[in-house]
Amino acid sequence: MIKAVIVMNTQGKPRLSKFYDFLPVEKQHEAIRNVFTVLCSRPEHVSNFVDAESFFGPDSRLVYKHFATLYFVFIFDSSENELAMLDLIQVFVETLDKCFRNVCELDVVFNYSKMHTILDEIIFGGQVLETSSSEVMKAIEEISRLEASSNAINLVPKSVSGWRSR
């Protein structure tokens, strides 16, 4: 099971965090700080896999990828394969690139709800739902179409007969 997904910048500022195991907010902030401390102290040439038992409990592993100014971090237990999690990060980033045309930190900041929607199409309740970025993009495009048609319906003015006169 996936325990958490964190996207943070190279200064340690979380840009997206989603915890699938219950943790009080204070513990979430502490965990994010601990993850950043570990990531920023690691040299570039070492493995992207880290033992996370000290801050996420027994049987916890962490995998990350560093793209430009962002770290993409998945925390999971032994029921998940480390290489599959690394590939899932790649799927997430590829999908973001397709949505935002070369995703950057500002895309993450200003499109927070879309980021969560994309993540929810890939992972829900800590379980992997989809591993194909093209399938995730189809779902995101359908959601966007539905939102657009819903907004268009809400923009149609009410008839004059629906108004009360004084």
Domains along the chain with CATH numbers: 2-156 (3.30.450.60)
pLDDT of residue 3 exceeding 60: yes
Q: What is the mean pLDDT of residues 116-123?
A: 92
Q: What is the pTM of this model?
A: 0.83
Q: Would you state the pLDDT for residue 95?
A: 92
- CA–CA separation, 78 and 52 (whole Å): 11
Span 128-158, pLDDT tens digits: 999 898 899 999 889 888 888 877 666 555 5
- CA–CA separation, 93 and 82 (whole Å): 17
Alpha helices in 59-132 (DSSP H): 82-100, 105-110, 112-122
What token pair was written down for 141?
A: 């495009």
| Residue type, position 46, single letter | V
Q: How many CB atoms sit inside 10 A of residue 12's CB?
A: 14
Please give the backbone phi and psi of residue 52, each rounded to the nearest 5 degrees, phi first.
-115, 20
Higher pLDDT pick, 155 / 34: 34
Q: What percent of the chain has pLDDT over 70?
A: 91
Q: Which residues pair with 4 in a beta bridge?
A: 19, 75
- Of 19-33, 92-106, 113-127, which range is least confident? 92-106
Higher pLDDT pick, 75 / 56: 75
- Of 64-73, 116-125, 146-155, which range is least confident? 146-155
Span 81-102, pLDDT tens digits: 999 999 999 999 999 988 888 7
How high is the mean pLDDT of the chain?
87
Q: Would you state the pLDDT for residue 112?
A: 85
Contact partners, residue 71, CB within 8 Å, separation at least 6: 6, 7, 8, 9, 10, 36, 39, 64, 65
Look at the block and give the residue holding tokens 């979380």: 14
